[in-house]
Amino acid sequence: MKSRDMNHDWIATARTLSEALPFMQRYAGSIVVVKFGGNAMGDEDAMAEFARDIVLMRQVGINPIVVHGGGPMINDMLTRLGIKSEFVRGKRVTDKATVEVVEMVLTGLVNKRIVQAIMDEGGRAVGLSGKDDDLMVCEADDPELGFVGRPVEMNPQVLRDLFKAGIIPVVAPVATGMQPNETFNVNGDTAAGAIAGALKADRLLLLTDVSGVKDANGNVVTAMTPEEVVAMIEDGTIAGGMIPKTETALKAIEDGVRAVVILDGRVPNACLLELFTEHGAGSLIRPAR
């Protein structure tokens, strides 16, 4: 039974919901691709909170797609199986044995955990990989790195079919190749960007373990254009692991995504803050109007 006691917390909650209405209307019917990874994947409470946010997005008329990674789980399984990794220029070589483990962990373990979390929160979800219905076809990104793929062909109709059925797709970044029986491991951000581009998504949300893109003084840049991102990469302001994320953002925008947001997935309800509040969250990258 509902409590009828009025207090400031409940009033604030009602006000927040009311203020979110214009944003809910703005995104109704839109496609939002969310790259999920990082520390939240290993925390049950954080996973449940993320799943609840995704279900809410679907409930108010958004078509969310979750694309996930799973690096720590892959590393753990490789260690347990005694499979040693080789590295070239600091990057793991994905040989045949390794890509089999990658596929097993991403599609069989991580993917189904996320699907179950969404189901537990009252949503409908189906797990698939880039192999299903040839969603994502790849070629080797660098022959020296083995079965690490770069998407060259996208077939997103299966995702549209799931939208029509009211189902949330959860995609593991494992793809087929141009040759028979080829399997490629795809970087999670890269896969999310390729899917968002193929669908001309309204938003691509890249959840990370940092607060966003920072300027030379260490402050988060809340909004920038692709040209400004390129300049920050060239002058070294954007460096390290943020370079591939921003490059993914630039490619997605080039492919037709309206905007990309790099935001801190450790912040509670980060996706809802970005979509349904005036303030937003993280760093928004979109073409100048």
pLDDT given for residue 5 in this prediction: 55
Whole-number Å distance between alpha carbons of 288 and 253: 12
Does 92 appear as a known binding residue? yes
- This prediction has a pTM of 0.91
For 256: left if phi > 0, alpha if psi spans -120 to 50, otherwise beta; the answer is left
Q: What confidence score (pLDDT) does residue 267 get?
A: 86
State yes or no: 42 annotated in a binding site. Answer: no
Strand partners, 138: 151, 177
Q: Does the annotation place 108 within a ligand binding site? A: no
Identify the three-state secondary structure at position 224.
strand
| Beta-carbon count within 10 A of 124 CB | 14
193 is in an annotated binding site: no
Domain ranges of the chain: 28-285
- DSSP letters along 56-72, please? HHHHTT-EEEEEE--HH
One-letter amino acid at 261 equals: V
The pLDDT value given to residue 259:
96
**pLDDT of amino acid 288:** 78
- Cα distance between residue 146 and residue 144, in whole Å: 6
Class of domain 28-285: alpha beta
Binned average pLDDT, 10 residues per bin, the chain of 289 residues: 56 69 80 85 86 95 95 90 83 89 94 96 97 96 92 97 97 95 94 98 93 91 95 93 93 96 89 83 87
Q: In the prediction, which pLDDT does 1 show?
A: 47
Ramachandran category for residue 11: left, alpha or beta (phi over 0 → left; psi -120 to 50 → alpha): alpha
